Amino acid sequence: MATKGKKQSSSDGWIDAEPEARGLLPFVGIALTLGVWYVLTYFSTGVLANFAPQEAFVALVDLLTNGEFYTQHVRASMTRFAGALALSLVVGLPLGILVGYFDVAERLSSVSFQFLRMISPVAWFPVALLTFESGGHAAPIFIMFMGGVWPLVFNTAHGIKTLDDDWLKVADSLGGTTRTKIRKVVIPGVIPDMITGLRLSIGWLWILLVPAEYLGVNSGMGYFILNARQQFSYAEIPAVMIVIGLIGFTLDLTVRKLRGRWSWR
């Protein structure tokens, strides 16, 4: 009597039978997204009709061929992003190690850190405007930092809490000091968690970049969007949004590849 084989779904069979086609799926998704965008704007009779993809891509070409857009806006945004990321790394990683390794530090800071983490970075806008000089980089960097530092702190601390206790016991048996254990065991052991925190932090920083550049600055991609709205240059708004999305996607893809290289745990 023949045994009945396991039924295979049609979708699984298609994926197994057509591996080359799987590489086309992202392009299909992009096409569907563009199609939805076109339909929504084409059949709209309101303001949404001004954001049609045809005009947006014409404006995008104009932006990409405009040197001033890079030197005045993209460079300013990347400078603020880099500053906020550097500050988040310098503060977040040591704090994460401190909180994750020392129980006293965790007990001392847990309530305060969780409280601060739950405050929206946007709520810090008045503080930033009153504290920092208008038009500079400091206010946007501060706003972005208030959102980007916490993923680094908590992911690093979580990674330390999940380390194999035997690693630390071996270090103790070899006479390792606290400093040596942190440097030789803890930090190498939590690199995958640090990179996960880095990816989340980059996501937060990049999302906060646009609203942070509404804080009285006269450059940056967030400022460009606000200025385009005020000048009724509607096609430029989705064009800049595409640039922001492409840069953000590239940043995230880079960190994902980095995490894939270091995800050995």
Decide: 156 and 97 in contact? Cβ < 8 Å: yes
Q: Which of 116, 131, 140, 119 is nearest to 218 (CA)?
A: 140
Instruction: State how far the alpha carbon of 36 is from the alpha carbons of 32, 86, 182, 231, in Å.
Output: 6, 38, 51, 27
For residue 133, the surrounding DSSP H or E stretch is none
Mean confidence (pLDDT) of the chain: 86
- Report the largest interatomic distance among the alpha carbons of the chain, rounded to a whole angstrom: 84
Cβ–Cβ under 8 Å, residues 223 and 73: yes
- pLDDT tens by residue, 71-121: 999 999 999 999 999 999 999 999 999 999 899 999 999 999 999 999 999
The whole-number average pLDDT for the span 234-247 is: 94
Which residue did the predictor score with more confidence, 180 or 138?
Answer: 138
CATH 1.10.3720.10 matches 54-262: yes
